[in-house]
Structures are given as C-alpha cells and as structure tokens.
C-alpha cells in the first residue's frame, strides 16, 4: 500500500512524483490556489465568482469561501441561467435541438445549479442570478435550435454577461473556473489555429482591468490545478458534484475540442503533460502584450467592446437574430 510522503499515512493520490494522503492532498490543493491569489492584494476587494456548472465551479466556490477569512475579500456568486423557463418548451426550429435533448439540458443545468446552491448556502454566499431568456430574450437551447452552435452561444453569452454584470455592479475581479487541463486544451487548439493573442490569454492566470475598454479583471484561481484535482477535491469534501463523465447534452461529442480533450487527458495521466506544456509555453510568451492590443471599438447596440467589422458585437448579433437578415441556412461559424 502506498504511503504519503509527508506523514506516512495511507496515500490516496499520486501527484507530481509523490504519493499523498487525503489531508495532504487538501493542503496541496489550497496551496496551489494560494500561489495564484498571493500575487494580489485582495483585502476588501469585491470578487465575483462566475461559476458555470460541474466540479470545477463547485470546487472554486468552496475553496474561495474557505480562503475568505485569510485574504479578507468580499465574495459573491453570479449564476447565469441559460435554460428555458421551468418546463422545457422549445420549438424545434431547424431541428438542431430536439425536445428530448432540450429537456436533458434543462435537467443538467438545474441539477448543477442545485448542487452549487448547496455550497453557497453552506458558506452564506450571496447569489445573483441573470436569466438570459428573461433579460436578453433567448435561452441557449432556443438559440441552438435555430442556427447557432450551442457551445459557441453558451460561451459568448457567459463571457458577455459576467463582464457586464461585474462592471455594472462595481466588482473588482471576476473569478473564472478554468483549470490547467482546460487551458492546455485551449492553448493547443489556438496554436493549431494560429490565434496567438488567444494563446497569450489562455497561458495567463490574470487578465488585467481596462477601464477604457470596459473590461473587468479576470483571475483563474485554479490555474495550477488539473481537472482530476477538482474532482478529487469535491469528492473528499463531500460536495455533491457533477462528475466529469456527465457532459452537457448540447455538447458536440465529435468537436475538435473533444478530440483534443481526450488526447491531453491521456498524456496528462501518463507524462504529467499539462504541467510541462504550460511551463514551457509560458517561458516563450511576453505577457506585457496582454489586452493592450485591443483597439477601443464599441458595439452600436450595447456600447461594450467588439472587434467586429460591422460594429455589432457577437452577443448582440446572437440575441437580435430575429432582426438580422441572415438566411437560416447560413451558419455563421
């Protein structure tokens, strides 16, 4: 039976060449988060946890609540409600999403919402909800049932809503749920697509404030933790978590992202790949170029930042699709 390298108790996990027991794994987890947070003065800062669903978000909310007394920040959770009403009533539109998948999506989001709610209640964290359908007109399954790709709609909506909510409610920092495994997958995808600005964003744990560009600073506290660390953290803390084997019903299983995910996770297990990849990638990048390359161009509808040539941001395009003259057969990407 393997033994913990620190205390010689029974070990439960092998990390970075060493075996660890339950207690020392939890200490390791906290220390990895602290290594990111210690770079900032967080005393009295207003932090917004923008959780999505799944174990990464649940672990993030829990660990940030645990560390609150140590750093003295204010913490609030923003939940973006993406599903349709209470019952599912999607018109199947062009047939991309059928009713069964739509109902599955509602069920998936609701169970994630309820388990995150348990953590928020346990730590008495204030919750704010932005209902996409009520406030902006459309839910994710409804948009996916038209001609937008579900993951693209979901990602664009979450990024837009969290920045806007944080800015309009005077938050200093948005905390996002990205872990090392996710970031290495995104870095690989962006390198292949030659999107080097994106690689820079992915390889940084901090995207700074830019008041002129209306961007709130974003921090990734789980930057040094792998996906399996979050899953283990949740199971050890008895958090009723959404397992990585359950994925969003709208997720396209054959997407390039999913192919890269399988390959990165396999290499991560065998060769500690994510750790080595990120370490050598960061050595090659110049982080002084973060954000500053953006030209200040604002959307004609909402006055938030866009780089689109027609002056309408992607979020406004998605939400106003009924007013745009786009043929239903034309997929935008």
Give yes or no for residue 7 binding Zn ion (CB under 5 A). yes
Task: Show the binding pattern over residues 78-117: x = contacts Zn ion (CB under 5 A), - = does not.
Answer: ----------------------------------------
Give yes or no for residue 15 binding Zn ion (CB under 5 A). no
- Closest to Zn ion by CB, 173 vs 313, is 313
| Two tokens, residue 152 | 């693209």
CB of 177 to Zn ion, least distance (A): 24
Residues 295-314 that bind Zn ion (CB under 5 A): 299, 301-302, 313
CA distances to 92, 98, 150, 227, 328 from 88, rounded to whole Å, are 11, 11, 16, 31, 23
User: What burial class does residue 188 get, using C-beta atoms within 10 Å of its C-beta: 0-12 exposed, 13-18 middle, 19+ buried?
Assistant: buried
| Two tokens, residue 222 | 């789980």
Give yes or no for residue 149 binding Zn ion (CB under 5 A). no
- Closest to Zn ion by CB, 30 vs 302, is 302
Task: Say how far apart CA 170 and CA 211 lie, in whole Å.
Answer: 12
Task: Show the binding pattern over residues 29-48: x = contacts Zn ion (CB under 5 A), - = does not.
Answer: --------------------
Of these, 13, 15, 21, 81, which contacts Zn ion (CB under 5 A)?
21
- Closest to Zn ion by CB, 47 vs 299, is 299
Task: Say how far apart CA 166 and CA 164 lie, in whole Å.
Answer: 6
CB of 125 to Zn ion, least distance (A): 30
- 173 CB-side CA count, 13 A: 23
Q: Please, where are the H alpha helices in the chain?
A: 22-37, 55-66, 68-71, 99-122, 132-136, 140-145, 150-168, 180-192, 196-202, 227-236, 256-271, 273-284, 314-319
- Closest to Zn ion by CB, 20 vs 37, is 20
**Residue 233 CB contacts under 8 Å (≥ 6 apart), including other chains:** 26, 29, 55, 59, 62, 63, 239
Of these, 24, 55, 218, 224, which contacts Zn ion (CB under 5 A)?
24
CB of 2 to Zn ion, least distance (A): 11
Of these, 166, 174, 242, 316, which contacts Zn ion (CB under 5 A)?
316
- Closest to Zn ion by CB, 163 vs 204, is 163
Q: Which residues of 95-109 are buried (b: 16+ CB within 10 A; e: fewer)?
A: ebbeeebbbbbbebb
- Closest to Zn ion by CB, 45 vs 237, is 237
- Closest to Zn ion by CB, 153 vs 299, is 299
Residues that bind Zn ion (CB under 5 A): 4, 6-7, 9, 21, 24, 299, 301-302, 313, 316
């Amino acid at each position: 039976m393997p033994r913990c390298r620190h205390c010689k108790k029974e070990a439960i996990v092998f990390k970075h060449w060493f075996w660890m027991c339950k207690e020392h794994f939890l200490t390791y987890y906290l220390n990895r988060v602290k290594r990111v947070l210690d770079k900032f003065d967080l005393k009295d800062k207003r932090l917004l946890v923008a959780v999505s669903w799944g174990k990464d978000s649940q672990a993030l909310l829990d660990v940030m609540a645990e560390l609150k007394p140590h750093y003295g920040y204010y913490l609030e959770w923003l939940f973006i409600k993406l599903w349709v009403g209470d019952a599912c009533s999607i018109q199947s539109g062009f047939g991309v999403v059928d009713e069964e998948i739509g109902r599955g999506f509602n069920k998936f989001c609701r169970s994630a919402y309820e388990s995150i709610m348990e953590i928020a209640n346990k730590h008495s964290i204030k919750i704010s909800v932005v209902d996409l359908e009520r406030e902006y007109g459309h839910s994710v399954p409804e948009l996916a049932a038209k001609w937008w790709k579900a993951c693209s709609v979901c990602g664009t909506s979450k990024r837009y809503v969290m920045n806007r909510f944080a800015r309009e409610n005077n938050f200093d920092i948005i905390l996002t749920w990205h872990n090392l495994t996710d970031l290495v997958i995104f870095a690989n995808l962006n390198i292949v697509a030659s999107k080097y600005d994106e690689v820079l964003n992915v390889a940084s744990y901090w995207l700074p404030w830019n008041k002129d560009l209306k961007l709130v600073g974003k921090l990734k506290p789980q930057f040094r933790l792998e996906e399996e660390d979050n899953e283990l953290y949740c199971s050890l803390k008895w958090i009723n978590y959404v397992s990585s084997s359950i994925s969003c019903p709208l997720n396209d299983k054959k997407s390039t992202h999913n192919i890269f995910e399988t390959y990165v996770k396999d290499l991560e297990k065998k060769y500690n790949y994510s750790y080595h990849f990120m370490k050598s990638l960061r050595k090659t990048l110049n982080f002084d170029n973060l954000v500053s390359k953006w030209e200040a161009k604002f959307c004609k509808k909402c006055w938030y930042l866009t780089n689109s040539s027609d002056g309408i941001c992607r979020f406004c395009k998605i939400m106003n699709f009924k007013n745009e003259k786009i043929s239903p057969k034309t997929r935008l990407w």
